[in-house]
Amino acid sequence: MPFHTCILRLAAMGMLISAGAWPQNAPPLQGIRGVLVDPMDRPVPSAPVTLVGGGQQTSTLTSVSGEFQFDNLGAGRYRLVVTVSGFKPIDRTVQVGGRPVRLLLKLALAPLKEQITVASQALRVTTEAGGNLNTISVERGLLENLPILDLDYLTALSRFLAPGTPGDAGTSIIVDGMEMRNVGVTPSAIQEIKINQNPYTAEYPRWSRRRIEVITKAGTDRYHGTFNFLLRDHHLNARDAFAVTRPPEQRRIFEGSLFGPLGSGQNTSFLLSGMRESEDLQAVVFAYGLRGAIIQNVPIPQQNTYASLRITHQLSQRNVMFWQLNFQDRWRNNVGVGATVLPEAGAQSRFREDEFIFNHRSVVTPKFLSQFRILIGRYWAPTHSNTSRPRIVVTDAFTAGGAQADALRTEVHTSITWLLTQTVGRHTLKYGFNVPDWSRRGFSDWSNQLGTFHFASLEDYSRNRPFSAVIQRGNPRTVFTEKNLGAFVQDEWQVRPVLSVAAGLRYDWQNFFGDRNNFAPRLALAYAPTRSRNTVIRAGAGFFFDRSGPAPIWDVLRYNGTRLQRFVVSDPPFSTEGLAALLPLMPTSVVQLEQGVQLPELLQFSVGLERQLAKQTTLAVNYIGTRGWRQLRSRDANAPLPPEFRARPDARFNVLRLIESAGGLEGNALEITLRGKLGPRLTGLAQYTFGKTCSDTEGVNWFPANSFDPRGEWGRADADRRHQFNLLGAANLHRWLNLGLSVSLLSGPPFNITTGKDDNRDGMPLDRPAGVPRNTGHGPGYIGIDLRWFREFRLQPSAKENSPSLTLSVDAFNLPNRVNHQNFLGALTSPFFGKPVAAQPPRRVQLGIRLQF
């Protein structure tokens, strides 16, 4: 029986069972039944619910599945009160008549102004399946007071994602339970961000270290708003280590959000957010040409506009729905310029996206919750080269000529999620299906029409001797539909108050890949061995299947031998005309999926100890293991044969690129996480990781040095760092001395050492010296210390919590102005061999004003 049929039958059975729990012929029972969920729509257990009315007050606690009920109530008006630490209280008037009242109550995180803390509900040891304390959870109160460059919360927290693991579809962004391309709302509308929450849930396809969960603000019965203005100017910055003069930069950001009731009733609310970024930034070119060093500052202007509108309406006590529109328009110039890439090789890009989201939540019965979401969107993304000239690449010296990157990407996409939650005794069953991405993608590729010429060294360039060239002819347009489907079932079983078990099974499928056996079992255990329950032992394991992303599918379809011809020529003449004259005599390159190619598979397993050190402080120590199979990589199956490397073995093809699932991955890490009160006046979280990740691939576009023997590629992953320490915190020392702190201390990543030449004549300068394994070079470490000072002024002090406020802030990024080198070059032919050609930004100062009401 097909898997999706099983899921639908399970859902139907659950609805029938739940519906059958209600008497059909008996008189209707007067009472209140409901489900309490958190902002991510997860049931909230053990929460106190109080009912006031009829001359009495009654209290109860929610069950493991978040259920509560009050029976045998007389007709009339009652007041229902729910108070959970860290969330806004719920105070609702309920009318009880001749039928039972069924409610869906959703908590909203409380705004924290005077006290800057991590959400208090996460600061206790618990055996709940999603209560792991190595979660990186940063709520609104801390987000607002950390030094965050340009309000880019996701980039600031991405340091906590898994290092060194290849992945071609990037990081998953989960917004209010749905996988999305971007957050959709602007920063001030974000309530909380989580990484590594509930690592072994079957609800999501990606493992927790490649997933960012975002909770947005919920509507309220009163108007609230936030307005931010940020300014960065080069007069306040230090000089870049590779620049001769300080680049004349300025960046201005206007951002805000407004939410509250819509109309006179209390059943409809709205959330409006928007942002406008104007950037006059600069890139630093540090290259080497025939006349010596090339050092210059190059403008890279950008403009970004974001807008979002959400309307939420409560149809009844059991049904809530919302509609949301998102808009984004981003323009950038001189894309790709910097380090060894000269200004003439830059490009101009634009990205325009529109999205519509519909969400419906329904309490079918007090033991059955349904949540349905659908997203429909489209985008348009053209890229134009600034200069219409052939591209010239001298290995690790300079890149000049034109960008040869002209293209147009279009897409119409949809995402669908249907989640059902059902309670049976101590079991909370979750099951459903999702469509992470179902897209009609179009790609018009006009790149390399004039050709890209590769030179091994400056000497070869001076003699007009490229070792290879790439040029394209034919039909540039490719259209295809990408389909990704998933379904899951999970049982969270509270065996005893000191023991919980969560077991799940997920199935994922992607078209263009022939495997149909992508079943991913997952299991997590949590046990409190002591009577005080202040210590919890956690263990878990789970399989995960990654997606390929659209890039390899585009390559297979357009480079099929007839649509778009791509020619890789060894030892070509150094002219577009001379190169084009050779094309009628040459076969074209072809890209194919290797027979039997499968989606990448990963196993993550862990065991850890969690300890409540104090009322507001927890410690988690975890070992995390990662094993990957069938990781994607590319290989030239028609590379010239050794030892002469004179000709390709199959004369029908030029490059025959096979995309194969043959790579491996192995990672081991010891992780220590401290959360809560880190000192007498410091609150936040700190995490240290000691680990190592090795692989023999870096993704689907990665080629081994020797396509006939990829076994020699095993080594440190490109992003592997042995030691990582990250700290986020804030402190209220005085009303004039409020500080936010971000510290990142990282050991150096590896880099690859190559000859810089194409000795095997496969068109790629990937050859390594004899006896030199992959990634044996070692770059320097990174030290980043960012500091924020802020002062809040209450505009109506007598109003206490509801007083409008004005906050002034000054952020300093890279406070000690340390030079953190990057882009170490490993080509032996390069004038920069073993040296960096770029650095992380120097000290930058950001001024901010925030108005809240």
Structure tokens given for 542: 């789970």
Give per-residue pLDDT as tens, 486-541.
999 999 998 988 999 999 999 999 999 878 889 999 999 999 998 888 999 999 99
What is the 3 state secondary structure string of 283-328?
EEEEEEECCEEEEEEEECCEEEEEEEEEEEEECCCCEEEEEEEEEE
Burial label for 235, CB within 10 Å (0-12, 13-18, 19+), is exposed
Structure tokens given for 747: 């050991």
Is 50 exceeded by the pLDDT of residue 109? Answer: yes
> What does the angle CA 223 – CA 225 – CA 230 come to, to the nearest 5 degrees?
175
| Mean per-residue pLDDT over the chain, rounded | 88
End position of a domain, from candidates 106, 121, 139: 106
Q: Looking at residue 681, what DSSP letter applies?
A: S
Place of tokens 């802030």: 809
Contact 135, 685 (CB under 8 A): no
In whole angstroms, give the CA distance from residue 264 to residue 256: 24
Share of the chain above pLDDT 70, in %: 92
| Distance, first Cα to last Cα, the chain | 56
Q: Is 743 inside any structural domain?
A: yes
Largest CA distance in the chain: 97
Same structural domain, 202 and 290:
yes
Q: Is 219 inside any structural domain?
A: yes
Classified as helix, coil or strand, 58 is: strand
Classified as helix, coil or strand, 495 is: strand
pLDDT of residue 111: 45
Average pLDDT over residues 45-65: 77
Average pLDDT over residues 192-216: 91
pLDDT of residue 15: 36
Number of DSSP helices (H) and strands (E) in the chain, helices first: 6, 47
pLDDT of residue 31: 81
Average pLDDT over residues 168-191: 86
* Lateral strand order in the sheet of 101-106: 67-71, 31-37, 101-106
Place of tokens 């790149």: 447
Which residues lie below 8 Å from residue 401, measured CB to CB, with a gap of 6+? 344, 345, 387, 389, 390, 391, 392, 453
pLDDT of residue 168: 59
In whole angstroms, give the CA distance from residue 791 to residue 420: 45
pLDDT of residue 163: 65
- Give me the amino acid identity at 157: L
pLDDT of residue 513: 87
Is 60 exceeded by the pLDDT of residue 30? Answer: yes
Strand 782-794, strand 805-813: pairing: antiparallel
Bridge partners, 660 (sequence order):
633
In whole angstroms, give the CA distance from residue 87 to residue 119: 9
Q: Is 130 inside any structural domain?
A: no
Average pLDDT over residues 464-477: 96
Same structural domain, 54 and 155:
no
- Report how far apart, in Å, the C-alpha atoms of 564 and of each of 258, 434, 472, 762 are: 49, 34, 7, 20
End position of a domain, from candidates 76, 106, 136: 106
Within 10 angstroms of residue 75's Cβ, the number of other Cβ atoms is 10
Q: Which of 5-9, 238-242, 608-612, 804-808 has the lowest mean pLDDT?
A: 5-9
Same structural domain, 690 and 575:
yes
Give per-residue pLDDT as tens, 405-449.
999 999 999 999 999 998 888 899 999 999 999 999 999 999 999
Is 90 exceeded by the pLDDT of residue 317? Answer: no
In whole angstroms, give the CA distance from residue 194 to residue 182: 15
- Give me the amino acid identity at 79: R
Same structural domain, 213 and 71:
no
Q: Which of 186-200, 255-269, 515-529, 683-697 has the lowest mean pLDDT?
A: 255-269
pLDDT of residue 678: 86
Is 60 exceeded by the pLDDT of residue 115? Answer: no
pTM of the predicted model, to two decimals?
0.85
Same structural domain, 501 and 363:
yes
Same structural domain, 90 and 198:
no
Q: Which of 60-74, 580-594, 804-818, 833-847 has the lowest mean pLDDT?
A: 60-74
| Radius of gyration for the alpha carbons in the chain, expressed in angstroms and rounded | 29
Place of tokens 């409610």: 103
Domain range for residue 77?
3-106
Give per-residue pLDDT as tens, 149-168.
999 999 999 999 876 565 55
In whole angstroms, give the CA distance from residue 205 to residue 175: 15
Contact 491, 429 (CB under 8 A): yes
In whole angstroms, give the CA distance from residue 430 to residue 267: 28
DSSP run (H or E) holding 491: strand 477-496
Average pLDDT over residues 21-39: 61
Q: Is 124 inside any structural domain?
A: no
- Structural domain count, the chain: 2
pLDDT of residue 801: 61
Same structural domain, 259 and 372:
yes
In whole angstroms, give the CA distance from residue 185 to residue 303: 17
Same structural domain, 76 and 201:
no
DSSP run (H or E) holding 68: strand 67-71
Same structural domain, 449 and 509:
yes
| Residue 265: pLDDT band with limits 50, 70, 90 | low
| Residue 85: pLDDT band with limits 50, 70, 90 | low
Strand 101-106, strand 31-37: pairing: parallel
Most confident of 15-24, 37-46, 461-470: 461-470
| Residue 318: pLDDT band with limits 50, 70, 90 | confident
Classified as helix, coil or strand, 813 is: strand
Give per-residue pLDDT as tens, 771-788.
899 999 999 999 999 999
pLDDT of residue 3: 40
Give per-residue pLDDT as tens, 230-241.
999 999 999 999
Q: Is 129 inside any structural domain?
A: no
> What does the angle CA 625 – CA 629 – CA 635 come to, to the nearest 5 degrees?
135
| Residue 392: pLDDT band with limits 50, 70, 90 | very high
What is the 3 state secondary structure string of 145-174?
CCCCHHHCHHHHHHHHCCCCCCCCCCCEEE
| Residue 123: pLDDT band with limits 50, 70, 90 | low
What CATH number corresponds to the domain at position 74? 2.60.40.10
Same structural domain, 85 and 170:
no
More confident residue, 746 or 68: 746
End position of a domain, from candidates 84, 106, 128: 106
Q: Is 37 inside any structural domain?
A: yes
Same structural domain, 276 and 417:
yes
Q: Is 138 inside any structural domain?
A: no
pLDDT of residue 40: 62
* Lateral strand order in the sheet of 48-53: 56-61, 48-53, 76-82, 90-96
Contact 385, 439 (CB under 8 A): no
Q: Which of 133-142, 403-412, 687-696 has the lowest mean pLDDT?
A: 133-142
Q: Is 570 inside any structural domain?
A: yes
Same structural domain, 63 and 172:
no
What CATH number corresponds to the domain at position 289? 2.40.170.20
Give per-residue pLDDT as tens, 599-627.
999 999 999 999 999 888 999 999 999 99
In whole angstroms, give the CA distance from residue 740 to residue 787: 6
Share of the chain above pLDDT 90, in %: 64
